[in-house]
């Protein structure tokens, strides 16, 4: 999946919707057996999501390696989704997407970043906690638990 070209960051365009959908489905497929259903990001219409949110893509040549989907809200930056291609997981790309989210939040004047994740996604929760996110809530959802997390940025 990697080429001799260094990975680059670019904003998504409407034509990227199918590639984003393919990447997200691949990235979240590992969780289907544990949940007994597709995680919510696998069900999204990315053509519509591209109209509502910012998508920053990590690309290597023609290959899509990762996606960061965000939205600026009144008092925080919301991370809607972070997805890394399964072949690229474990190489720090998710952590780098979180760093990008901090940069975006700072540029927008936000002092906080928020996200949610599924309680089954233990590795994701551990990563978020390792880089400074704190669990701020739990909520029952579709037979499982949604975990709400927040990171306060230094100003």
Distance, in Å, from the CA atom of 83 to the CA atom of 39, rounded to the nearest integer, reads 12
Backbone angles phi, psi at 79, to 5 degrees: -95, 110
Contact 28, 83 (CB under 8 A): yes
Please give the domain boundaries of the chain with CATH numbers for all domains: 8-152 (3.40.630.30)
Alpha helices by DSSP H, listed for the chain, are 17-28, 32-35, 46-52, 93-107, 122-130
Residue-wise pLDDT tens digits, 26-67? 999 999 999 999 999 999 999 999 999 999 999 998 899 999
Contact 117, 88 (CB under 8 A): no
Residue-wise pLDDT tens digits, 75-120? 999 999 999 999 888 888 889 999 999 999 999 999 999 999 999 9
Closest CA to 16 of 64, 80, 78, 61: 64
What pTM was estimated for this model as a whole? Answer: 0.92
Contact 138, 147 (CB under 8 A): yes
């Amino acid at each position: 999946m990697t080429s001799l070209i260094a990975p680059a960051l670019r904003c998504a365009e409407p034509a990227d919707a199918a590639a984003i959908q393919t990447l997200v489905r691949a990235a979240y497929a590992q969780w289907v057996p544990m949940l007994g259903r597709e995680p919510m990001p696998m069900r999204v219409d990315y053509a519509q999501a591209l109209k509502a949110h910012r998508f920053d893509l990590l690309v290597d040549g023609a290959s899509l390696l990762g996606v960061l989907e965000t939205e600026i809200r009144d008092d925080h930056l919301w991370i809607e989704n972070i997805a890394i291609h399964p072949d690229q997981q474990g190489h720090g790309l998710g952590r780098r997407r979180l760093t990008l989210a901090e940069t975006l939040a700072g540029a927008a004047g936000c002092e906080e970043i928020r996200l949610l994740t599924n309680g089954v996604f233990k590795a994701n929760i551990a990563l978020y906690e390792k880089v400074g996110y704190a669990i701020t809530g739990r909520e029952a959802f579709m037979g499982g638990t949604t975990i709400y997390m927040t990171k306060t940025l230094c100003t």
